[in-house]
Homo-oligomer: A and B are copies of this chain.
């Protein structure tokens, strides 16, 4: 796609940063499966083998992509930095999670990348370090914070699996599928029908992802605040 530019300025030197940026742009545009060594090289107007001077392997290239996005998350969350006393921790953690979410919505392939990599990107570690700091200032014990990070799970970095998305609600095909499934799945279909009825504006799908993300996030944050205040048996 950018081959014309590459030909016009043919001596722009390759670099690890340029390789990663090209791979990220390709993943944004065509999905993570489109990212092959040969294709990234092609977009850079170069041969596949040239990439190996800046990246040890394809695996390491994906590690680099994960770091790229992790750094964006860290940068985005650093903007949310106000003094934390007591219950104010909640707003800061919430806003940081939502800031992280915005980054991941720009790079939808990144969530899957975080899950598949074994090593945690340095930027993500730094992001977590900030969360730990905020919660510590808020009055949580380290043990409580540790549990809290697990309880938040990927929500802390702005995503949760969209495991439950029935897809396009209003299409004739979906409506027919609902009728067909109703005998097998009476409770589920009944629920979906009512949800769709209550909110006829959500024509694209049944589920407002942003709203549901915030509902789940708030549910966990509220629970953690109760732990912090000692109004729960947990976290002892």
- The docked-state distance in angstroms from the alpha carbon of A216 to that of B215 is 15
Q: Which one of B133, B191, B215 contacts A132 once the chains associate, using CB atoms below 8 Å?
A: B191
CB of A62 within 8 A of chain B? no
In the complex, per-residue mask of A140-164: 1 if CB is within 8 Å of any chain B CB, else 0: 0011011101111110110011011
Name the distance in Å between A46's Cβ and chain B's nearest Cβ: 28
With both beta carbons as reference points, the residue of chain B lying nearest to A157 in the complex is identified as B163
Name the distance in Å between A3's Cβ and chain B's nearest Cβ: 30
* Interface magnitude class on chain A: 35 or more
Complex contacts, A48 vs chain B, CB 8 Å? none
In the complex, per-residue mask of A117-153: 1 if CB is within 8 Å of any chain B CB, else 0: 0001000011011101100100000110111011111
Interface residues of A (CB under 8 A from B): 112, 114-116, 120, 125-126, 128-130, 132-133, 136, 142-143, 145-147, 149-154, 156-157, 160-161, 163-164, 166, 181, 184-188, 190-192, 194-195, 198, 206-207, 212-213, 215-216, 218-220, 222-224, 227, 232, 234
